[in-house]
Amino acid sequence: MGKNAVPRPRKRTRKLSDMAVLIPNLTPHGHLVLAPAADARALTDDLQRRVEQAFERGAGQGLLDLGLREIGTALLPVFAFWRDFAARYVTTLCVSAEAPDSE
């Protein structure tokens, strides 16, 4: 930079959640994504951050996080649906993975 050059402010990358409330949305192609919803109530900042970080790693990670980490958390109905779905799936996996009883 030159002697009289004014440093440019860094461009802040805004996350989608900075602009709108994000909720789980099943696309027509069967992908679960977080999508903005104008009429949804906001989650707490901490919960929104956790959910967003989990879904950034993929839908499977997002569901796993909801189904394992947010079991006792009061959630909006749309999040509660997917949490319960994921919890049932994890339970089924755990039950089917148990060793069979030997007779």
- pLDDT values of the chain reduced to their tens digit, one per residue, 103 residues: 556 655 554 544 445 445 578 999 999 999 999 999 888 888 889 999 999 999 999 999 999 999 999 988 899 999 999 999 999 998 998 888 765 665 5
Residue 11: predicted pLDDT = 47
Q: For residues 39 and 77, give the distance between their C-alpha atoms in angstroms, rounded to a whole number.
A: 13
Residue 14: predicted pLDDT = 45
User: Does the predicted model carry a pTM greater than 0.85?
Assistant: no
Hey, where are the domains in the chain?
19-95
Residue 93: predicted pLDDT = 86
> Is residue 62 within 8 Å of 51, Cβ to Cβ?
yes
Residue 16: predicted pLDDT = 47
> Is residue 21 within 8 Å of 40, Cβ to Cβ?
yes
The Cα angle at residue 75 between residues 43 and 92, in degrees rounded to 5? 135
45-56 vs 59-69: helix axis angle to the nearest 10? 140
